[in-house]
Amino acid sequence: MPFANFKVPAGTIGAEDKKKIVERTTELYVEIYGERARPTTVVLVDEVEDGGWGVGGDVLTAAMLDSEA
């Protein structure tokens, strides 16, 4: 069973973007493994609370990311 787990900052993507992640990830697995993968592919999109993640030892927030854009 192919499995993918995406972690995104809470509130940064909407339902339509989550749908795209699920659909495109499923299509990628189908491209690699063939149609037999479609019915068993599991894709999770988890929203991580603001400040609940970090890079390089630094805790990050959505506001910090917005200021870097």
Indicate which residues carry an active-site annotation: 2
61-64 contacts: CB < 8 A, separation 24 or more? 62/9, 62/10, 62/11, 62/12
Q: What's the angle, vertex CA 27, arms to CA 37 and CA 11, rounded to 5?
A: 115
Closest among 56, 59, 53, 55 to 12, alpha carbons compared:
53
